[in-house]
Amino acid sequence: MSKRIAPGWIVFESVENDQHDRCVDLFRRTDGSWGFEEFRRDVEDAGAWTPVAYHSAVIHPSRESAWAAAIHAVAWLAPSAVERPPQP
């Protein structure tokens, strides 16, 4: 579990880039709000996922809002978003 995703939060969607060294997790908090976080995975970190920003601190009222914010904030995600929108 990431340092920025609390144990009670549920990750509903995890999208990796084509190189499998970046991912975005879309999650729901215990209070019903939504969020996302971007991670990187480097060889020198033994393949562990490391958060690269503080997106998880922002509260979104819906899955769609969090997904739209992720697409706007994470440059590599936009092409993946067209191919794989979040599942309801």
Question: For 56-88, how does the pLDDT look when each residue is reduced to its tens digit (9 = 90+)?
Answer: 999 999 999 999 999 999 989 877 665 555 555
Secondary structure of residue 68 in the 3-state scheme:
helix
Range of the domain at 47: 10-78
The answer as to whether 3 is a domain residue is: no
Question: Which pLDDT tens digit goes with each residue over 6-61?
Answer: 888 999 989 999 888 999 999 999 999 999 999 999 888 787 888 888 899 999 99
The answer as to whether 5 is a domain residue is: no
DSSP summary character for residue 88: -
The answer as to whether 37 is a domain residue is: yes
Residue 37, pLDDT score: 94
DSSP summary character for residue 59: -
Question: For residue 61, how many C-alpha atoms fall within 13 Å in the half-sphere facing its CB?
Answer: 0
The β-bridge partners of 14 are: 25
The answer as to whether 15 is a domain residue is: yes
DSSP summary character for residue 26: E
Residue 27, pLDDT score: 95
Q: What is the CA radius of gyration of the chain?
A: 12
- Model confidence, pTM: 0.82
Query: What is the number of structural domains in the chain?
Result: 1
